[in-house]
Amino acid sequence: MIPPSHIRTPFQARFGAAPTVIVRAPGRVNLIGEHTDYNDGFVLPIAIDRAITIALRPRPDRRLIVHALDYDQTAEFDLDRLEKGEPGWAEYVKGVAWALQREGFGLSGWEGVLLGDIPRGAGLSSSAAVELASARAFAAVSSLPWDPARMARLAQKAENEWVGVRCGIMDQMASAVARAGHALFLDCRSLAYEHIPLPPETAIVVLDTATRRGLVDSAYNERRRQCETAARTLGVPALRDVDEATLTRRAAALDEVTLRRARHVVSENARVLQAIAAMRRGDAAALGSLLNLSHASLQADFEVSSPALDQIVALARRDPACFGARMTGAGFGGCAVALVEAARAGRFARQVIRAYRRQTGLEAQAYLCAASDGASLVAA
Ligand code: GLA
């Protein structure tokens, strides 16, 4: 967690005065419900205790000046003349300005510094965090009502239509509305949500494989298309509307690959509901088994895992402190998530990193994540 003092000082150095507002928005890790959001299904992410923080003050004009400390880059733009630029963090800020203005909000300019501690490219949604932190900043300086779910939708629109990435709504909703100590049970069709307490005495450990894959976007879009084809063939608006019995009965209507894609989504939605029931009983063992089943389905049916993810998941499960583990996020590289006994989480993380290094020669990172609150005003 970045203490506000770490961002006040660089703001002061750059702009010669104290910031009037500090906002933050967290990254997320998904416990279960993978590749279900764009099928109108269920997801169960937590917001992590790593975030994007922005310190800022309003400007009297309609300009934005934002300096990203991590990149040592400054972006400047005019709210009356938004133009697409080089891909990068600034496009998320600009995209949010574009989406808010299109929604009819009158925005004021501001200047600020932005700082983050979310590992980038790891699948922990640093981009959704930049979007929600920017939305929170605009809301603060422009006196907009803060409706987190509406802001999440607008941030998703920014990512889909301004940045050009076809993501679902999970990351933005997690960054906007999550609650500390809880997972977010979200219905991605209605956006109804509920905060579900994590099982007692458990910890969530994110294991970063230190592998990244460049083709994530094209593979992601291909999976989306396959899911849309399955839904169309089965005559429903989205795979959310299919249950396991119906899919079995109608299996012959789909080709082999499309059937496996659909089977993942349909079974994953059912697993999210089972996971909620397990959490309500405080049953960490049952929740862990569902994580394991989710991984198997993502690996065999949805085919978005990778050898590195499979390896780190297997190493995690070998540890007696682990209730279950699976890949998390879009896949093909990035992170796995493990549910472990809280008292043994530190030792678990060290053990997995050591064994993974021995097997692969790669240096994994482990993050013990506290479930945190969604986007907020830290200081005004
Ligand atoms: C990425 C997308 C999300 C979701 C996941 C897979 O993180 O941004 O919307 O589709 O992949 O569950």
pLDDT given at position 314: 98
Residue 315 and residue 366: Cα distance in Å, rounded? 13
Q: Do 167 and 214 fall into the same domain? A: no
Q: Do 171 and 304 fall into the same domain? A: no
Q: Do 147 and 38 fall into the same domain? A: yes
Catalytic residue from among 40, 171, 208, 301: 171
CB 263 within 8 A of CB 247: yes
Q: Do 182 and 247 fall into the same domain? A: no
Retrieve residue 231's tokens: 């839904």
Looking up tokens 């049952």, which residue turns up? Answer: 286
- Structural domain boundaries, residue 191: 4-198+372-378
Q: Which of 46, 173, 67, 58 is nearest to 113 (CA)?
A: 67
Q: Do 259 and 296 fall into the same domain? A: yes
- The DSSP 8-state label assigned to residue 158 in this structure reads I
Q: What is the pLDDT of residues 177-221, one digit of tens each?
A: 999 999 999 999 999 999 999 999 999 999 999 999 776 788 999
Q: Residue 76 is part of a domain; what is its CATH number?
A: 3.30.230.10
pLDDT given at position 217: 82
Q: What is the pLDDT of residues 128-137, one digit of tens each?
A: 999 999 999 9
Q: Do 70 and 148 fall into the same domain? A: yes
CB 158 within 8 A of CB 133: no
Q: Do 53 and 182 fall into the same domain? A: yes
Q: Residue 287 is part of a domain; what is its CATH number?
A: 3.30.70.890
For atom 9 of ligand 1, the residue with the nearest CA is: 168
What are residue 68's DSSP bridge partners?
73, 114
Residue 242 and residue 45: Cα distance in Å, rounded? 22
Residue 93 and residue 141: Cα distance in Å, rounded? 14
Query: Cβ atoms within 10 A of the Cβ of 302, count?
Result: 22
Give the SS3 label for residue 43: strand
Query: Cβ atoms within 10 A of the Cβ of 17, count?
Result: 9
Our mutation pick for probing the ligand 1 site, out of 28, 31, 36, 38, counting the most ligand atoms within 8 A of Cβ, is 38
CB 288 within 8 A of CB 323: yes
CB 70 within 8 A of CB 201: no
pLDDT given at position 3: 81
Q: Do 190 and 206 fall into the same domain? A: no
Please confirm, yes or no, whether 301 is among the known catalytic residues: no
pLDDT tens, per residue, the chain with 380 residues: 778 889 999 999 999 999 999 999 999 999 999 999 999 999 999 999 999 999 999 999 999 999 999 999 999 999 999 999 999 999 999 999 999 999 999 999 999 999 999 998 889 999 999 999 999 999 999 999 999 999 999 999 999 999 999 999 999 999 999 999 999 999 999 999 999 999 999 999 999 999 997 767 889 999 999 999 999 999 999 999 999 999 999 999 999 999 999 999 999 999 999 999 999 999 999 999 999 999 999 999 999 999 999 999 999 999 999 999 999 999 999 999 999 999 999 999 999 999 999 999 999 999 999 999 999 999 87
Count of domains for the chain: 2
Residue 11 and residue 366: Cα distance in Å, rounded? 31
- First CA to last CA distance, the chain: 19
Q: Do 182 and 225 fall into the same domain? A: no
122 lines ligand 1 (CB under 6 A): no
* Triad 308, 313, 317: Cα angle to 5°: 150
pLDDT given at position 218: 87
**Cα torsion 130, 133, 138, 139: sign:** positive
Q: What pTM did the predictor assign?
A: 0.97
170 lines ligand 1 (CB under 6 A): yes
Note the Cα 335 to chain centre separation in Å.
12
Give the SS3 label for residue 324: strand
Give the SS3 label for residue 42: strand
Q: Do 144 and 288 fall into the same domain? A: no
288 lines ligand 1 (CB under 6 A): no
pLDDT given at position 276: 98
Q: Do 192 and 113 fall into the same domain? A: yes
